[in-house]
C-alpha cells in the first residue's frame, strides 16, 4: 500500500535531484508532474484522516525513540494541503516566467524541490529535533532561492536572511537541548504528559528561546527587518513561495508547540505575541502604504498579514481561535501567492517596478488587475473571501472571551489593507497614456487569477477545512 | 557540580558569545565564525546536560552529529554567498539597511 506521508517527502526530493541532474534551468516538467501527484497524495491523506483519525508512520520500521516517527493530525494535514495547493499553480507560473529569465532560473527547480520536501517533512515531524533539521532544510533552501538572481542586491538580501534564519534556528536548537536535558526525550507525544504547570525554570527558558527563535523566523514585528528585502528582491515566483509558505512553517511550529507540550506554561505570556502581532499589522500596513516599489508594497503587506496569525494566541486553545489562525494562513497564502504572481506580470509588462509606473495598466492587463483585486479582497477581509471568514472567526472568538481589543486590531488592519490595495488599483485604472507594454504570456495571468479566485472561493468551502482541523493527534490531545 | 553541568554552562556561555557576535560584528567572515561558535555552544549544552551517569547517552551524540552536518552545510552556503558578495562589491560588510 502507498503511504502518502512518506511519498509527500520522497517525491519532491526525487524530482529536485532529477532536476539538478538535468542541468541548470531544466526540470520544470518532472516538477509539475510530481507536484500534481503530491496534491493527490495530500488529498488522499486528508480523506483518510477524516475516515480513520490521525495517521502515523515509523520510518524504515524503526519506531521512536530510536527511529524517526512521522505523524499526521488535522493541523499538519491542513498545512500540507495548503502547501501543495499553492505550489502547483506557482510551478506552472514559474515554468513560463523563467523562460525569459534564464540566469535566475538556473537552480530554481532543485531548490524549490528541496524547499517543498523540507516543508512537507516539517509538517509531518513528531519530535523536536527532527523539526529542527527540517526547519534548517527549509531555511537553507529558501536562502538559496533568494540568492538565485545572483546580483549584489539579492546576495545582500540572502545574507541578511541567512543570518536571521540561522540565529532563529540556533535559539530553537538550544531550547531543544534544554528540553532534552530536563526530560531525556524530544518526542512531542512523550513530552505531552511530562510538562506540567510546575515545570522547572529551565523548561520555561527553553520555551522562551524556542518561541523567540521561531518568531524571528516568522518575521513577526520587530523581527521583520529581513523579510521585505528578501521577498521584495527575489524573482516573482520565489517571492510568492516565500511569502505564502515559508513563513507559515515557523508559525505552524509555534502553534504546534503552543497547543502541545508548552500548553500548561502559556498563560499570560500569550499577550506578547498578540501585542507584537498588532504592532506588525500597523507598522507593516503603514510601510506598505508608503512603499515606492510594488513588490516592496506586497512584501510589507506580508509583514502586516502575519500579524493576524499572532492575534489568536490569547484566545487559544479554543477551537474557534485555531480555526481563525489556519483560515488566515490559507487566505494569506493563496492571496499573497496571487499578488506576487500578479506583481510579477505587471513588472514584466511595464518594464519597471514602481507603483507610479502602473498608470494605465488596467487597459492592457485587465486579467492581472482582476487577480490583484481579488487577492486584495481577501487581504481586506471582504465577504465571501477566506480572509473574511478568518477575520469573522477571530472577532467572534475575541468577543466571546471579552477581548474586544483584538477585534479592534483586526478591523483596523482590514481598513489599512484597503488603503494599500486601492493605492495600486487606483494608479492602474488611471486613464493615462500607456508606454509600450510588452506582451506577457497568458499563462502567467491565468495562474495569478486561479490563485486569487481560490483565495476568495475558499470562503464558501470553509466547513470542510474546519472539519479536517478537528482531527486530533494520536494519543488524544489535539 | 558534575562535569556534565560544567560543560553545559560553558556551552551556554559560548552560545551567548556567538549570538552577540552574529548580532554585533559587521565583518561577514567573523560573523560566520560567531554563528559556528553559537552552534557549538548549543551542541555542548545538548551533550553536557544529558550526561547523567558515567555511561555516555548515545541519543544526544547522534543529534549533535546531525547538527554538525547542518552547521557545515549552513557555513558552506554562507561562505559561498560571502565570496560572491565580495566578488561583486569588494566589501566584507553588508551595507546599512535600505528598504526601498
**B31 part of contact set with chain A, CB < 8 Å:** yes
pLDDT at A466: 87
Q: Which residue out of B74, B85, B90, B95 would a mutagenesis test of the A interface target, given it has the greatest number of A Cβ atoms within 10 Å?
A: B74
pLDDT at A414: 93
On the CB side of A238, how many CA atoms lie within 13 Å of its CA? 29
A180 → closest Cβ in B19, B60, B81:
B60
pLDDT at A475: 47
Domains of chain A, residue spans: 1-265, 271-470
Cα separation values, A173 from A167, A176, A248, A420, A448, Å: 10, 5, 19, 38, 38
pLDDT at A476: 41
A412: which 3 cell numbers? 483596523
Chain B residues with CB under 8 Å of A286 CB are none
Chain A residues with CB under 8 Å of B59 CB are 65, 180
**B50 part of contact set with chain A, CB < 8 Å:** yes
Query: Minimal CA–CA distance to A234: which of A369, A119, A136, A111?
Result: A111
Closest B-chain CA to A143:
B77
d(CA A435, CA A272) in angstroms, rounded, equals: 49
B85 → closest Cβ in A140, A159, A176:
A159
What's domain B3-89's architecture? Orthogonal Bundle (1.10)
On the CB side of A412, how many CA atoms lie within 13 Å of its CA? 19
- Residue A198 CB coordination number (10 Å): 8
Q: Which residue out of B4, B42, B98 would a mutagenesis test of the A interface target, given it has the greatest number of A Cβ atoms within 10 Å?
A: B42
Q: How far is A278 from chain B (nearest CA, A)?
A: 21
- The SS3 call for residue A401 is coil
d(CA A145, CA A30) in angstroms, rounded, equals: 19
CA dihedral A361, A366, A371, A376 (to 10 degrees): 60
pLDDT along chain A (478 residues), means of 10: 86 96 90 96 90 81 79 93 96 91 82 97 94 96 91 91 96 95 90 88 93 95 92 92 95 94 86 95 96 94 95 88 94 96 93 87 90 95 92 93 92 94 91 77 94 93 86 56
pLDDT at A101: 76
Q: How far is B54 from chain A (nearest CA, A)?
A: 15
d(CA A224, CA A218) in angstroms, rounded, equals: 8
How do beta strands A69-72 and A55-58 pair?
antiparallel
Q: B81, A170: Cβ pair inside 8 Å?
A: no
d(CA A422, CA A428) in angstroms, rounded, equals: 9
pLDDT at A359: 84
A341 and A448 in contact (C-beta within 8 Å)? yes
**B97 part of contact set with chain A, CB < 8 Å:** yes
Write the pLDDT tens digit of every residue in B39-87. Answer: 999 999 999 988 777 777 888 899 999 999 999 999 999 999 999 999 9
Q: What is the ipTM of this complex?
A: 0.95
Q: A296, B100: Cβ pair inside 8 Å?
A: yes
Look up cell 559561498; give the residue: B80
Amino acid at each position: 500500500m502507498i503511504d502518502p506521508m512518506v511519498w509527500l517527502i520522497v517525491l519532491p526530493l526525487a524530482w529536485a535531484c532529477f532536476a539538478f541532474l538535468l542541468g541548470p534551468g531544466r526540470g520544470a516538467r518532472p516538477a509539475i508532474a510530481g507536484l500534481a501527484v503530491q496534491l493527490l497524495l495530500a488529498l488522499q491523506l486528508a480523506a483518510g484522516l477524516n475516515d480513520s483519525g490521525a495517521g502515523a508512520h515509523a520510518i524504515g520500521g524503526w519506531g521512536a525513540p530510536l527511529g524517526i516517527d512521522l505523524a499526521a493530525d488535522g493541523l499538519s494535514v491542513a498545512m500540507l494541503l495548503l502547501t501543495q495547493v499553492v505550489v502547483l499553480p506557482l510551478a506552472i507560473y514559474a515554468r513560463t516566467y523563467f523562460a525569459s529569465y534564464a540566469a535566475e532560473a538556473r537552480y530554481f527547480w532543485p531548490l524549490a524541490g528541496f524547499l517543498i520536501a523540507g516543508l512537507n517533512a516539517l509538517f509531518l515531524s513528531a519530535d523536536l529535533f527532527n523539526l529542527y533539521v527540517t526547519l534548517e532544510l527549509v531555511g537553507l533552501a529558501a536562502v538559496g532561492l533568494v540568492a538565485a538572481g545572483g546580483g549584489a542586491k539579492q546576495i545582500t538580501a540572502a545574507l541578511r536572511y541567512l543570518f536571521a534564519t540561522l540565529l532563529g534556528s540556533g535559539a530553537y536548537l538550544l531550547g531543544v537541548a534544554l528540553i532534552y536535558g530536563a526530560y531525556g526525550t524530544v518526542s512531542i507525544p512523550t513530552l505531552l504528559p511530562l510538562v506540567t504547570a510546575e515545570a522547572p525554570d529551565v523548561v520555561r527558558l527553553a520555551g522562551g528561546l524556542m518561541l523567540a527563535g521561531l518568531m524571528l523566523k516568522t518575521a513577526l514585528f520587530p523581527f521583520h527587518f529581513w523579510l521585505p528585502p528578501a521577498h521584495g528582491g527575489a524573482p516573482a515566483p520565489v517571492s510568492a513561495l516565500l511569502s505564502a509558505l515559508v513563513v507559515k512553517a515557523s508559525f505552524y511550529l509555534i502553534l504546534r508547540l503552543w497547543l502541545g507540550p508548552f500548553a500548561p506554561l502559556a498563560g499570560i505570556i500569550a499577550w506578547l505575541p498578540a501585542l507584537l502581532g498588532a504592532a506588525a499589522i500597523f507598522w507593516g500596513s503603514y510601510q506598505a502604504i508608503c512603499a515606492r516599489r510594488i513588490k516592496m508594497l506586497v512584501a510589507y503587506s506580508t509583514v502586516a498579514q502575519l500579524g493576524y496569525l499572532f492575534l489568536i494566541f490569547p484566545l487559544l486553545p479554543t477551537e474557534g481561535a485555531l480555526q481563525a489562525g489556519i483560515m488566515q494562513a490559507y487566505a494569506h497564502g493563496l492571496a499573497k501567492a496571487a499578488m506576487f504572481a500578479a506583481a510579477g506580470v505587471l513588472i514584466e509588462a511595464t518594464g519597471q517596478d514602481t507603483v507610479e509606473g502602473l498608470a494605465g495598466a488596467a487597459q492592457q492587463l485587465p486579467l492581472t488587475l482582476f487577480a490583484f483585486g481579488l487577492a486584495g479582497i481577501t487581504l481586506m477581509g471582504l465577504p465571501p473571501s477566506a480572509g473574511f471568514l478568518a477575520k469573522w472567526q477571530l472577532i467572534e472568538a475575541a468577543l466571546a472571551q471579552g477581548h474586544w481589543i483584538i477585534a479592534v486590531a483586526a478591523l483596523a488592519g482590514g481598513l489599512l489593507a484597503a488603503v494599500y490595495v486601492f493605492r495600486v488599483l487606483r494608479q492602474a485604472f488611471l486613464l493615462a497614456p500607456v508606454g509600450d507594454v510588452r506582451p506577457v504570456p497568458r499563462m502567467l495571468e491565468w495562474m495569478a487569477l486561479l490563485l486569487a479566485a481560490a483565495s476568495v472561493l475558499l470562503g464558501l468551502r470553509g466547513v470542510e477545512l474546519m472539519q479536517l482541523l478537528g482531527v486530533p493527534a494520536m494519543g488524544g490531545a489535539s | 557540580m558534575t562535569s556534565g553541568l560544567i560543560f553545559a554552562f560553558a556551552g551556554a556561555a559560548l552560545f551567548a558569545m556567538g549570538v552577540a557576535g552574529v548580532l554585533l560584528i559587521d565583518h561577514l567572515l567573523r560573523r560566520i565564525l560567531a554563528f559556528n561558535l553559537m552552534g557549538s555552544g548549543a551542541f555542548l549544552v545538548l551533550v553536557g546536560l544529558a550526561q547523567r551517569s558515567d555511561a555516555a547517552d548515545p541519543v544526544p551524540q547522534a543529534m549533535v552529529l546531525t547538527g554538525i552536518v547542518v552547521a557545515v552545510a549552513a557555513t558552506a552556503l554562507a561562505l559561498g554567498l560571502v565570496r560572491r558578495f565580495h566578488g561583486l562589491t569588494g566589501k566584507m560588510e553588508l551595507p546599512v539597511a535600505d528598504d526601498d
